[in-house]
Amino acid sequence: MNEVVGAAIAGATLAAGGAVWLLAGYLIQRFAFRNPEPTAGTVIATSLSASMLLFSIVALLTFHIRYNNPGGDNGLVQTVR
pLDDT of residue 78: 56
Walk along the chain (81 residues) and give the pLDDT tens digit of each residue.
699 999 999 999 999 999 999 999 999 999 999 999 999 999 999 999 999 999 999 999 888 877 776 665 555 555 555
pLDDT for 26: 96
The DSSP-derived string for 12-42 is HHHHHHHHHHHHHHHHIIIIIS--SS--HHH
Task: Tell me which residue range forms the domain holding 66.
Answer: 2-80
pLDDT of residue 7: 95
Report the alpha-carbon distance of residue 30 to residue 38 in Å, rounded. Answer: 7
Distance CA 58, CA 64 (A): 10
pLDDT reported for residue 68: 75
Pick from 21, 69, 61, 64: which is nearest to 45 by CA?
Answer: 21
Q: Count of domains in the chain? A: 1
- Please tell me the predicted confidence (pLDDT) of residue 62: 85
State the Cα torsion 51-56-59-65 to the nearest 10°. Answer: -120
